[in-house]
Amino acid sequence: MYDMPIGVGQDLLDADLGIAVPAQPTQLVKRGMSVMPDLAAFQHPRFARTWEKLSGESERRGTAEHRDRTLAGLTGRVLEVGAGNGTNFPHYPTTVTEVIAVEPEDRLRALAEQAAATAPVPVRVVAAHADELPYEDNSFDAVIATLVLCSVPDQHHALTELRRVLKSDGELRFFEHVRSDNPIYRLVQQAITPVWSLAGGGCHPNRDTTTAISNAGFEITDIDRFAYRPLKFMPAQAHILGHAHKSP
Ligand SMILES: C[S@@+](CC[C@H](N)C(=O)[O-])C[C@H]1O[C@@H](n2cnc3c(N)ncnc32)[C@H](O)[C@@H]1O
C-alpha cells in the first residue's frame, strides 16, 4: 500500500502555451521506498492539445450542465480520476472539503494545476493513474469518473481500484459516453474504435460502461441515459450519468 504522494519534479516551461509541464511525475512512497509511477504509456501530447482546444465548445454544448448534475450535493473528501485539464473543478460544490485530482498526462496535468488555483474548493493535482491509486483502502467519501472510463486501459481493473479507495458508505459518481443501443451505430463504433483510440488518447467509443460498473462490485442507484452532441462535427453519442455505491 502506498502512502500519500510527496513532492513534484522540476518543471519545464512548455514554449507553445507557456504552461509548466512537470519533468518528473510525482514521487510516491511505498513502504518507505521512493517509487515513481510509470506514466509513459499515458502521454498523448497531440490529443491533449486537441482536447484543450475543443473542450470549450463541448462545455457550451451541454457538458458543463452535465458536470453540474454529476457533482451536485457532494460532501467531504473526493477523488477524481483522469481530471484532464481540470474542467470539473469549477463545478464542485463548496461542501466538498478537498479534491484529489489524479491525472497521468503531463500536459493536461499542468493545465489542471492552473485550473486548481481558481477552483471554489481545495484541489490537489497528482501524477498517477487509476490502475494503481496511491491511496489507502476506504479513504474517500466519493470517487468521480467523468469521460475517463472510455480511456482507461482496463475498465474492470480501474473500477476495482476506485471501489477499493472508496469508503463503504461512499459514492461513485459517473458521467461517461458509452456504446450505442442502436445495432448499426454500434457496428460503426466497433469499426472505428482502433483509429478513434489512436487519435483520441486511448478513447474507446464502444464500451458498455454500465455493465462494467456493476461487474466491478458497484450497485448503480441512479442512472440517466441520454444522447447529445458534445461537438458540432460529431453525431449524437449515448451518455450515462449517475451514482453507484459499493455492493455489499
Ligand atoms: C477525455 S479526457 C477527460 C478528462 C476529464 N475527466 C473530463 O471530464 O473532462 C480523458 C482523460 O483520462 C485520462 N486517463 C486515461 N487513462 C487513465 C488512467 N488509467 N487513469 C487516470 N486517467 C486516465 C487522460 O489522461 C485524460 O485526461
Query: Which ligand 1 atom sits closest to the C-alpha of 203?
Result: 1
Smallest CA separation from ligand 1 atom 23, residue: 82
248 falls in which pLDDT band (50, 70, 90)?
confident
CA distance 225 to 80: 21
70 falls in which pLDDT band (50, 70, 90)?
very high
Q: Is the CB of 241 under 6 A from ligand 1?
A: no
CA–centroid distance, residue 221 to ligand 1 (Å): 24
- Which residue type sits at 123? V
**Looking up cell 511505498, which residue turns up?**
30
- The 8-class DSSP code of residue 2 comes to B
Say if CB 224 and CB 242 are below 8 A apart. yes
Q: Mean pLDDT over residues 86-106, rounded?
A: 98
pLDDT tens digits along 129-157: 999 999 999 999 999 999 999 999 999 99
CA–centroid distance, residue 85 to ligand 1 (Å): 9
pLDDT tens digits along 38-52: 999 999 999 999 999
- What mean pLDDT, rounded, does the chain reach? 88
Burial 42-80 (b: 16+ CB within 10 A, else e): bebeebbeebbeebeebbeeebbebbeebbeebeebbbb
Percent with pLDDT over 70 in the chain: 85
Say if CB 237 and CB 209 are below 8 A apart. no
Helical H segments across 59-143, by residue range: 64-71, 106-116
Please, which residues have CB within 8 angstroms of residue 5's CB and are 6 or more apart in sequence? 26, 27, 28, 29, 126, 127, 128, 134
pTM, 2 dp: 0.88
Residue 37 confidence (pLDDT): 80
Task: Answer yes or no: is pLDDT of 31 > 50.
Answer: no
pLDDT tens digits along 169-223: 999 999 999 999 999 999 999 999 999 999 999 999 999 999 999 999 999 999 9
Say if CB 192 and CB 180 are below 8 A apart. no
Q: Is the CB of 131 under 6 A from ligand 1?
A: yes
Q: Among the ranges 16-30, 34-48, 67-81, 192-206, which has the highest mean pLDDT value?
A: 67-81
Smallest CA separation from ligand 1 atom 19, residue: 152
Q: Is the CB of 204 under 6 A from ligand 1?
A: no
Instruction: Of 90, 85, 40, 38, give the one whose Cα is nearest residue 65.
Output: 90
Smallest CA separation from ligand 1 atom 4, residue: 84
pLDDT tens digits along 214-240: 999 999 999 999 999 999 988 899 999
Tell me the domains of the chain and their CATH numbers. Answer: 40-246 (3.40.50.150)
Q: Is the CB of 146 under 6 A from ligand 1?
A: yes
Residue 10 confidence (pLDDT): 29
Q: Is the CB of 104 under 6 A from ligand 1?
A: yes
